């Protein structure tokens, strides 16, 4: 009995000591174990890497044409195939010309008859004038001879124009190359019927010597890109490098992706042929070197922002704290922090994570 009373007294003393004002309070452990959310945290960069100034473009020919006939008919001759190099004015295909040739022959015959009639009328006029000078013919007779000669001249001119038209129709039966290039597609075959209206596409011709790259450059960089500036490109996926020179910089900003069209001429020689349609990367790192590339920079996904106002999640003592910041967009995928963050702080790499003020986190990177 005495032992039980002693143990009860000791227990009461312990409880009384733990609940007293002067007693030590129990310390709760921080949630840094498995219960904390695993996150990736990053520190702001103090300068941009040149790689972020690379933009993707596409090689294209300065001259590319889909060729259609200037007349309707049936293809009688195919003179080229895909891959053939052709010269300006070279015939690529010929339509059936049997009826057109008959028309040309008729026009030539009419022209010959008209020229003979003109010669006869001219000779008659000269004889009539000589007789009229001697008073052997009335003035009305001379007038009639002059009118006859003019009518014959008009008929001859009409016949000449008709022959030119017939010969032009004959030339229209051939599809010719408008410039030097390579046949990249043959869309019709021997014996196929083609039409002028609506036009039937027969060939695709591409000039592979005059190439350019079309790229969409972010508006934050494009003001530094000037016509005449040179840079290099890399073909994807082969890695072949080549040189380009900026030819034109667009004057309109695309409202969807905030980019401006830039056209750059391919200059110099390449180790392998550069083909139209190839995807390439243009390196504008020299442009970035000319910009104010100092400051604090974060990937856009680390900042939740509309315009210049936004916030980041700062990692502090195992928890996240919401921090208001002001930013400006500088390059694709990057913003410059203008206010609200220091270089030695770390923020969540993804601002869209499902966290709130005070959420326990565990950096796992």
Q: Span 244-250, mean pLDDT? A: 94
Q: Is the pLDDT of residue 32 over 60?
A: no
Distance separating alpha carbons of residues 327 and 233, to the nearest angstrom: 31
Q: What is the pLDDT of residue 132?
A: 82
Measured in whole angstroms, the distance separating CA 114 from the mean position of its chain's CA atoms is 57
User: Which of 123, 151, 172 finishes a domain?
Assistant: 172
Q: What CATH number corresponds to the domain at position 316?
A: 2.40.420.20
Q: What CATH number corresponds to the domain at position 232?
A: 2.40.30.170
Q: Is the pLDDT of residue 292 over 70?
A: no
Q: How many domains does the chain have?
A: 4
Q: Is the pLDDT of residue 352 over 60?
A: yes
pTM: 0.55
Task: Please list, residue by residue across 29-50, b when 16 or more beta carbons sit within 10 angstroms of its beta carbon and e when fewer do.
Answer: eeeeeeebeebebbebeeebee
Q: Which domain holds residue 254?
A: 54-62+208-283
> Is residue 218, in this structure, part of any structural domain at all?
yes
Do 349 and 225 belong to one domain?
no
pLDDT in tens, 158-197: 999 999 999 999 999 999 999 999 999 999 999 999 999 9
Distance separating alpha carbons of residues 146 and 158, to the nearest angstrom: 19
Do 265 and 308 belong to one domain?
no
> Is residue 23, in this structure, part of any structural domain at all?
no
Q: What is the pLDDT of residue 279?
A: 95
Three-class secondary structure of residue 172 per DSSP:
coil
Tokens coding 166: 């017939």
Do 212 and 275 belong to one domain?
yes
Q: Which of 248, 253, 240 is nearest to 213 (CA)?
A: 248
Q: Is the pLDDT of residue 220 over 80?
A: no
Three-class secondary structure of residue 335 per DSSP:
strand
Q: Is the pLDDT of residue 29 over 70?
A: no
Q: Are strands 361-363 and 37-39 parallel, antiparallel or unpaired?
A: parallel
Q: What is the pLDDT of residue 54?
A: 77
Q: Which residues on neighbouring strands pair with residue 54, listed in sequence order? A: 283
Q: What is the pLDDT of residue 331?
A: 67
> Is residue 76, in this structure, part of any structural domain at all?
yes
């Amino acid at each position: 009995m005495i032992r039980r009373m002693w143990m009860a007294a000791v227990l009461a003393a312990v409880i009384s000591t733990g609940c007293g004002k002067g007693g030590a309070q129990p310390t709760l452990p921080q949630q840094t174990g498995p219960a904390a959310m695993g996150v990736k945290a990053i520190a702001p960069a103090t300068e941009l890497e040149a790689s972020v100034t690379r933009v993707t473009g596409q090689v294209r020919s300065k001259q590319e044409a889909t060729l259609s006939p200037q007349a309707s008919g049936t293809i009688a001759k195919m003179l080229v195939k895909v891959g053939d190099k052709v010269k300006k004015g070279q015939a690529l295909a010929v339509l059936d010309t049997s009826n057109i040739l008959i028309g040309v022959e008729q026009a030539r015959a009419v022209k010959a008859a008209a020229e003979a009639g003109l010669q006869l009328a001219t000779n008659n006029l000269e004889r009539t004038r000589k007789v009229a000078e001697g008073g052997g013919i009335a003035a009305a007779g001379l007038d009639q001879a002059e009118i006859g000669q003019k009518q014959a001249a008009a008929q001859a001119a009409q016949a000449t124009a008709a022959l030119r038209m017939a010969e032009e129709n004959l030339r229209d039966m051939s599809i010719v190359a408008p410039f030097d290039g390579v046949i990249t597609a043959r869309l019709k075959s021997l014996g196929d019927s083609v039409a002028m209206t609506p036009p039937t596409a027969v060939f695709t011709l591409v000039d592979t010597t005059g190439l350019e790259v079309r790229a969409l450059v972010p508006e934050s960089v494009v003001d530094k890109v000037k016509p005449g500036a040179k840079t290099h490109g890399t073909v994807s996926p082969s890695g072949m490098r080549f040189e380009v020179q900026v030819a034109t910089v667009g004057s309109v900003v695309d409202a969807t992706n905030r980019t401006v069209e830039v056209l750059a001429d391919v200059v110099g020689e390449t180790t392998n042929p550069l083909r139209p349609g190839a995807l390439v990367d243009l390196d504008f790192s020299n442009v970035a070197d000319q910009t104010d590339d100092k400051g604090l920079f974060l990937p856009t996904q680390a900042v939740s922002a509309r315009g210049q106002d936004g916030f980041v999640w700062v990692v502090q003592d195992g928890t996240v704290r919401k921090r208001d910041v002001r930013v400006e967009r500088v390059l694709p995928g990057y913003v410059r922090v203008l206010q609200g963050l220091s270089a030695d702080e770390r923020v969540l790499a993804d601002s869209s994570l499902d966290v709130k003020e005070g959420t326990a986190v565990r950096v796992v990177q």
